[in-house]
Amino acid sequence: MEQFEFDAKRRALLAAGVRMMDPAAVYVEDTVQVGAGTLLLPGTILRGETVIGRDCQIGPNAMLVDCVVGDGSCVNASQGQDSRIGARCEIGPYAHLRAHSVVGDDSKIGAFVQLKNCNLGPGTKMAHLTYVGDTDAGPGCNFGCGSVTCNYDGKVKARTTIGANVFIGCHTRFIPPVSVGDGAYIAAGTTLTQDVPPDSFVIGRSRQTVKLDWKDKRG
């Protein structure tokens, strides 16, 4: 797109009530829609069929391609492709939403989180350092730091299913296909290889071993 086309689009958005801290540092393709009251911060790039709702904050340094963002959401220093973000969500910084990711309303997808081909229910909390791919999760789930869905075995990409209000401890590994029932609690450091019934507690890690005076015996 030529520079004058960017200028025309920015002027049209400003006239429609979109705010920009530095219009010259914002790039919006002509096919993009942005709601009134939304603030576009420097380094924002909006491309394709992207639709941004009202009263959002996009940027700084965010790129969205063919994405839909609900009213009142914030996308900070993150990227998204062909994904849908609900209303009142907080995305980033440094989150990556790959194709076919859906984030429900009132969710938090934080620093160094990557999503791919997943459906996350409203109220999802995924604050940092997590990979979730090929997954369906119900509302109100809390993903601890370092949680990973190990969705690819080298030949097949399998799916993980997680119910509503599931608490997922730090460094949980899901080995799909696997299903977790509503209200379950997963202890930190667990590797899940079998289905988990609703309202249950699961722990799957080796027992801690402490060898006293080991340093002195080692010499």
Confirm if 67 and 81 have CB atoms less than 8 A apart. yes
24: which DSSP letter?
Answer: G
CA atoms of 136 and 151, how far apart (whole Å): 12
Does 128 qualify as catalytic in the annotation?
yes
Q: What tokens appear for 142 in the block?
A: 């809390």
Locate 25 and state its tokens: 């540092």
N- to C-terminal Cα separation, the chain: 70
From CA 149, how far away is CA 135, in angstroms rounded? 8
Residue of 96, 100, 128, 171 marked catalytic: 128
> What residues form DSSP beta bridges with 57?
39, 74
Tokens of 88: 């009142």
Catalytic residues: 128
